Chain A
Amino acid sequence: MLRSTVFAFGFIVTAAPAAKAHDEQALANAPAGDPYVKVSDVLPLPEFIPGLGTLFVDPATLPAGPFLAYDRDGRLSATIYMTPFDDLQNGTSFDGLNIGSHTVSSTDIYYNAGHPGVDKPHVHVVLFHDENAKDRLAE
């Protein structure tokens, strides 16, 4: 029991800095502030991408992200990671990635053939932050 308590305390102490790695409230609504930029401002992509919404990313974190996905009302709806196949195959790992919100209702993982910014065929890992998020990002 004591060992469990110590372990739990240790986990909280360890996890706390990660939880404070960013201000969740600051990312809850678009526009996400510095160092994030709106993807459509820096890359030739639509401002609202059906299925992904309006994306913000810290350019220093490309290609993996996180990409913060906002619905048409500017509400943070998903955090998305984009990991190229050949990078993974060649041994690159993407560890300790940030997250837009610590509330995750579901996750979708699927193939993408590429787009400006992440040209290589890659995987989209989409963490939805509430149950209606997918519908709001769809159109």
Chain B
Amino acid sequence: MICTRRHAVWLGVCAVAFVAGSRSVLAQPTATVEMRGSPRGVRIWYDPVGLAVSPGTTVRFINRDPGNSHTATAYHPANYDRRQRIPTDADPWDSDFLLPDEHFEVTLTAPGVYDYYCLPHEMSAMVGRIVVGTPGDAGWEGSSNDKSDVSEEVLAALPLVQRILSEGTVSREDGS
């Protein structure tokens, strides 16, 4: 390959643009939730199951379970006509099925409590909760009081908002 002066200038411009772009990406807060499962599929879970982030954080859901597929699906009427368990101003999301090592990202801006579930594993209480911002933020919406659309096992699996806020992340009691 012959590298001319014009090529060199163009490459330099691209390099500057890449570095600038990288900095802007790095400036955006990010967090990761892993989907996990035990070898025989006896247990499946989100790690962490509870997560506190600031408004504008991009949350990446990634499937680290080599033997199963998972979803991260917000409780919202737009998703299978479920009762809403995310803030009113928030956009509902559904990752669709993620095969091992696939990921999905969503940026959460509206302050409040977001509950989500795994489509094929809700019956096994594979659910998670993300708290965006704090109760003092304008427009904050706390956790849903509705108990008609989820099982007792699901409600028990969702960490308390105060605990998430105080600890930042909450993993399952059994260490998984």
A interface vs B, CB < 8 Å?
Answer: 44-46, 49-52, 110-116, 119-121, 124
Instruction: In the complex, identify which listed stretch (B18-26, B84-92, B118-126) lies at the interface while the others stay far away.
Output: B118-126
| Beyond known contacts A112-B42, A113-B41, A115-B68: 9 more, CB 8 A cutoff | A49-B67, A49-B68, A110-B40, A113-B44, A114-B41, A114-B124, A120-B123, A121-B123, A124-B40
Nearest B-chain residue to A117, judged by Cβ: B120
Contact count A vs B, C-beta below 8 Å? 57
Interface of A is mostly: loop
For residue B154, CB closer than 8 A to chain A, the reply is no
Q: How far is the CA of A44 from the CA of B63 in the complex (A)?
A: 13
Q: Are A112 and B69 in contact (CB under 8 A)?
A: no
Q: Are A44 and B99 in contact (CB under 8 A)?
A: yes
Q: Which residues on the B side are within 8 Å of A110 (C-beta)?
A: 40, 42
Q: Are A113 and B43 in contact (CB under 8 A)?
A: yes
B40, B67, B126: which contacts A46 (Cβ < 8 A)?
Answer: B67
**Contact size range, B:** 10 to 19
Interface of B is mostly: loop
Q: Are B123 and A114 in contact (CB under 8 A)?
A: yes
Q: Which residues on the A side are within 8 Å of B135 (C-beta)?
A: none
Tell me the smallest distance from the CB of B54 to a CB of chain A, in Å: 32
Nearest B-chain residue to A45, judged by Cβ: B69
Q: How far is the CA of A14 from the CA of B54 in the complex (A)?
A: 70
Q: Are B123 and A115 in contact (CB under 8 A)?
A: no
Q: How far is the CA of A92 from the CA of B66 in the complex (A)?
A: 31
Which residues, 118 to 143 on B, are CB-close (under 8 Å) to A? 120-121, 123-124, 126
Q: How far is the CA of A45 from the CA of B71 in the complex (A)?
A: 12
Q: How far is the CA of A112 from the CA of B124 in the complex (A)?
A: 10
Q: Which residues on the B side are within 8 Å of A114 (C-beta)?
A: 41, 44, 120-121, 123-124
